[in-house]
Amino acid sequence: MAHIYDYAIIGSGLTGLSIAAALSRETKNIALIEAADVAFGANRKVNMPTGPANNGLRFVPDSVLAEKSLRFLETLLGNSVIADISEEAPITYEAGGFKTFLGFGENPPPFYEELAYLTSSKRIDLSSQPFEWTQMLFEQFKGDFMPRSYVTKFHQEGERVSHVTINGSKTLHAQNFIFAGHVKDLALLLPEEALSARAKGKLAKNTYWTALCIDFCHNKEVTASTAMHVLNGTTQDEIGPCAGRFTPATEVEGEKMQVSQWMTFISHEETDDSEVVGMALKKIKRQIKRAYPEALEGLKMERIFVSPLIAGNGDLKLSANMTIPDLENLWIACATMNEQKNLVGSLLQAEMTVASLGFKVAEAEHSARDEEATLEASI
């Protein structure tokens, strides 16, 4: 007789791992299904000459919802991730000098919402990094991890998903299914009767963005500024602006080095167009060189990577408890379904899913920020 899991979670990025860690407090009978060789999704660790680093540009703006998302993460990890709040306006390069970035005016890029997330003048400084979060969440997961496992079809019996097909041949049964993959894929994965032709059409026509990223390790300190840079050049073109930031310079074996990380977006349809990808990456380099003429000379390391379907707006009608209306045991936890973007959207979507499943994660101890606020109030 086939084993039946309590929960099957599809996708082990930040959202999927957060849900897996929360459910692991109640049961070990969980399958965590991942198409890649390893877990962690886009928030995996990379090794730079300066040490371990995030896989690309990471940023958390200071807002009520951002803090709420991090409080949820703190309850899962059992320790604080909020270190402080910093105020530092984003900057841009114009007319031979740096100026405060005041917005895009009447010519916002098509991916304005994705970029706007990165341009808040107030940010939450973190005591641990996203690549550490996913590692810690994975350590708290107690079920079966299944890498190199592509879910190729959901199967329906009545108003429930009975099982999924993995890699075209293997069958996996569960009482409940949680989909934390790319929402666009649901048009192909769901049973024919689960979505109307109109709903499938909307999923296909939604705008999805691919993140193009470059990480550099410079052989010198390029700048002491830790402000977010928004660079776009002097002429409008089909390739939009990029955002990037320099981390503080460090000394490695007597040599000063500095890491910078940059990101722009292209539409998902252009992900496989090598010419468009090449043009976008060249524009990032061109704008960095324009602002810092010697920054790209003698690089210690350069990483280019592409994250398809990392952003966008998933337009899919769900029931009040975040399930597919005709499939009462399939919860949709795709980060792009959340109105908030990036890390904040991923964590909020996980928190909403955990609540919809009927779980309440016990609150962690107050963070250092809470303690400082309490102390100040008592003085």
- The whole-angstrom separation of Cα 155 and Cα 108 is 43
Q: DSSP assignment, residue 120?
A: -
Residue ranges, CATH 3.90.660, the chain = 85-126+207-312
In tens, the pLDDT along 186-203 reads 888 998 888 888 888 878
In tens, the pLDDT along 309-365 reads 776 676 788 888 899 988 999 999 998 888 899 999 999 999 999 999 998 776 544
Q: Is 82 helix (H, G, I), strand (E, B) or coil?
A: strand
Question: Rounded to 5 degrees, what are φ and ψ at 286?
Answer: -65, -40
> Does residue 20 come out as left (phi exceeding 0), alpha (psi in the -120 to 50 range) or beta?
alpha
- The whole-angstrom separation of Cα 215 and Cα 28 is 38
Question: Rounded to 5 degrees, what are φ and ψ at 61?
Answer: -70, 155
Residue ranges, CATH 3.50.50.60, the chain = 1-81+127-206+313-379
Q: Is 305 helix (H, G, I), strand (E, B) or coil?
A: strand
What pLDDT is attached to residue 59? 95
Residues in contact with 277: Cβ distance below 8 Å, sequence separation at least 6, in sequence order: 212, 266, 270, 271, 306
Question: Rounded to 5 degrees, what are φ and ψ at 146?
Answer: -125, 85
Q: What is the dihedral of CA 337, 340, 343, 348, to 10 degrees?
A: -70
How is domain 85-126+207-312 classified at the CATH fold level? Polyamine Oxidase; Chain A, domain 2 (3.90.660)
- The whole-angstrom separation of Cα 73 and Cα 348 is 9
Are the beta carbons of 19 and 333 closer than 8 angstroms?
Answer: yes
- The neighbour count for residue 185, using CB atoms within 10 Å, is 17
Residues in contact with 316: Cβ distance below 8 Å, sequence separation at least 6, in sequence order: 183, 186, 199, 202, 203, 332, 337
Closest Cα partner for 203 from 111, 309, 329?
309
Task: List the helix and strand counts (H, then E) for the chain.
Answer: 9, 20
What pLDDT is attached to residue 359? 87
How is domain 1-81+127-206+313-379 classified at the CATH fold level? FAD/NAD(P)-binding domain (3.50.50)
Taking the whole predicted model, whether its pTM rises above 0.85 is answered as: yes
% of the chain exceeding 70 in pLDDT? 93
What pLDDT is attached to residue 333? 94
Secondary element (H or E) of residue 215: strand 208-218
98 to 92, 228, 262, 290: CA distances (angstroms): 6, 12, 17, 11
What pLDDT is attached to residue 197? 82
In the predicted model, residues of the chain with pLDDT beneath 50 are: 364-369, 371-379
- The whole-angstrom separation of Cα 24 and Cα 12 is 14
What is the per-residue DSSP string for 151-170?
EEEEEEETTEEEEEEETTTE
- The whole-angstrom separation of Cα 45 and Cα 218 is 19
